[in-house]
Amino acid sequence: MRQDELSGAAAGVAGNAKIYADNVILNAERGHGFAAEKANHLKDVVAGKDAKIVGGDNAKNGADRLVNGVNIQTKYCNSGSKCIQECFEQGKFRYLNADGSPMQIEVPSDKYEAAVQAMEARINKGQVPGVTDPVKAQEIVRKGGFTYQQARNIAKFGTIESVTYDAVNGIRVAGTAMGLTAAITFACAVWQGDEVEVALEQACYSGLKVGGVTWVSSVLMAQLGRTGVEKSLRPATDFVVKQMGPKAAAWVANGLRGGSGKAIHGAAAMSNASKLLRGNVVTGVVTTAVLSSVDVARLVHGKISGQQLAKNVTTTAAGVAGGAGGYAVGAGIGTMLLPGVGTVVGGLVGGFLAGSATSSAAQKALDNLIEDDAVAMSKILEQEFEKLAFDYLLSEPEIAKALEQLQGLGRELRNMYAAIDREEYARNLLNLIIEEIVQQRSKVILSSDEDWTNGLIQFCMLNGLPSDEFCEIRP
């Protein structure tokens, strides 16, 4: 991955880590309820509504969601009557707005009718403060966008519903990573003196590349979070956060949250930091795997060596890990200085600097241990080029033209590595280039015998040599 792509990739890793941390709750005993809450929220966001999840403050009898100013409590149970039963305590409706009116109760779409009937019965019994008309039950009970079974499937690994949810949920992070990468790549290209059209082309390519990797990584990471990976990593991340201490954990947690919402401290901050750390680990591994998938395919097709694969994967992993760590530190500092904008800027700068440094360091260290396949193939090309340059009597300008055409032959070098006879592959490749150059030479027409003789006589006269014998053979 190029250096101008590291900041966007780091932002993608950080965003995906936050999604992972937010989705850990889906593994809870009643994870389908949280899945319903998150899925309905995402549906409202996609529909363009002003939607927020507000249940994270754990306020007693508080709302789970706020949509266009309306407080909503989500209840997804296996029957409509049970959905309504969960809303009452000692025979009194417990979810009330600040003005004393009942909040809306969101239920599974397939349990809506039964839930309305149950609420009507409760109203008739006088158990809903301020409401006496059972018809109002239709206003209190809100039909969710998903069925009970769909909500359960969203909380599970590998189901169509969960993959679809993760795919849609990952679009936002992927879009952010794509936009940031495109902007940085465009700026770098312009600063290097490239034309605007060329800079735009590079920006679009890098943006789509990083955005695509971020999106695929987001889906895979979110799916892995529903497996045993989450439980297996928890002891290790809890230990690390414990060593950090509550102050450092709060700094990291609040920094990555970007100053949004109320700051968290103590046990809540340590728990959140641990989840974010697990998210970074899983996302980093998945992102590295996605970025390295092309090299794995090349290894399978014999186009690179196992050593080259190991070197590429290690360098990529170092860049991703360094970028993610730098983003976290930079975001924390940026949040302290200016929450919001400072978070983004600090994260980008930290991700770029740390990612570049760790990737370069890993590359240099591995260069001393493992020779690149491209270097080995280039040596073969160099040897064959020397032979053919002599055979074709190439001039300096012709050699320069040939070398110019040999630039950017990464794909050919991989094909050459896969060839049975690499020297022959190199010769064939060079012959195509050299013969095209040689065909551009001016045609040479040999002079007549008389011109040759006159030339030799003049040469002899100029150099004080006897030339009578040449005069005798002149026609």
- The pLDDT, as a whole number, for residue 165 is 93
State how many domains the chain has: 4
Domain identity same for 172 and 158: no
Angle at 330 between CA 326 and CA 334, to 5 degrees: 170
More confident of the two residues 418 and 473 = 418
Of 336, 367, 398, which residue constitutes the final position of a domain?
367
- The pLDDT, as a whole number, for residue 17 is 82
| pLDDT band at 410; cut points 50, 70, 90 | low
- The pLDDT, as a whole number, for residue 275 is 83
Average model confidence (pLDDT) across the chain: 79
Cα separation of the two ends of the chain = 74
Return the top range by mean pLDDT from 284-288, 295-299, 320-324.
Answer: 284-288
- The pLDDT, as a whole number, for residue 34 is 92
Q: Read out DSSP for 377-394?
A: HHHHHHHHHHHHHHHTT-
- The pLDDT, as a whole number, for residue 312 is 66
- With beta carbons less than 8 A apart as the criterion, state whether 359 and 319 touch: yes
pLDDT at 311 over 70: no
Domain identity same for 112 and 161: yes
In a domain, 4, yes or no: no
Mean pLDDT value of segment 167-195? 87
Domain identity same for 456 and 475: yes
Length, in residues, of the chain = 475
- The pLDDT, as a whole number, for residue 354 is 47
Domain identity same for 206 and 304: yes
Of 315, 338, 367, which residue constitutes the final position of a domain?
367
In a domain, 3, yes or no: no
- The pLDDT, as a whole number, for residue 385 is 80
Question: DSSP H helical segments within 338-421, as ranges?
Answer: 341-367, 373-391, 396-405, 410-418
In a domain, 290, yes or no: yes
In a domain, 343, yes or no: yes
In a domain, 116, yes or no: yes
Residue 75 amino acid letter: K
Count CB-CB contacts under 10 A for residue 228: 10
Tokens for 470, please give them: 């040449």
Of 112, 145, 165, which residue constitutes the final position of a domain?
165
- The pLDDT, as a whole number, for residue 364 is 58
Count CB-CB contacts under 10 A for residue 301: 11
Mean pLDDT value of segment 307-318? 68
Closest of 185, 181, 105, 108 to residue 139, by C-alpha: 105
Domain identity same for 226 and 322: yes
| pLDDT band at 209; cut points 50, 70, 90 | confident
Q: What is the pLDDT of residues 417-470, one digit of tens each?
A: 788 888 888 888 888 888 888 888 777 666 666 766 777 777 676 766 665 554
Domain identity same for 356 and 449: no
| pLDDT band at 80; cut points 50, 70, 90 | very high
- The pLDDT, as a whole number, for residue 75 is 96
- The pLDDT, as a whole number, for residue 360 is 56
Mean pLDDT value of segment 301-311? 72
In a domain, 159, yes or no: yes
Q: What is the pLDDT of residues 84-120, one digit of tens each?
A: 999 999 999 999 999 999 999 999 999 999 999 999 9
Domain identity same for 321 and 232: yes
- The pLDDT, as a whole number, for residue 159 is 94
Residue 171 half-sphere exposure, CB side, CA atoms within 13 Å? Answer: 9
HEC profile for 22-77? HHHHHHCCCHHHHHHHHHHHHHHHHCCCCEEECHHHCCCCCCCEEECCEEEEECCC
Cα dihedral sign for 125, 129, 132, 138?
Answer: negative
Instruction: State how far the Cα of 405 lies from the Cα of 396, in Å rounded to an integer.
Output: 14
Instruction: State how far the Cα of 271 lies from the Cα of 265, in Å rounded to an integer.
Output: 10
In a domain, 288, yes or no: yes
| pLDDT band at 48; cut points 50, 70, 90 | very high
Closest of 399, 428, 388 to residue 412, by C-alpha: 428
More confident of the two residues 204 and 307 = 204
The radius of gyration of the chain from alpha carbons, rounded to an integer in Å, stands at: 35
In a domain, 6, yes or no: no
Domain identity same for 161 and 178: no
399-425 in b/e form (b: 16+ CB < 10 A) is eebbeeebeebeeebbbbbebeebeeb
Domain identity same for 195 and 246: yes
Domain identity same for 193 and 328: yes
Q: What is the pLDDT of residues 349-392, one digit of tens each?
A: 454 544 455 555 545 554 454 556 777 777 888 888 888 877 77
3-state class of 143 per DSSP?
strand
Residues spanned by the domain of 271: 167-367
Domain identity same for 152 and 188: no
pTM, whole model, 2 decimals?
Answer: 0.69
pLDDT at 195 over 80: yes
Domain identity same for 321 and 221: yes
Residue 408 amino acid letter: G
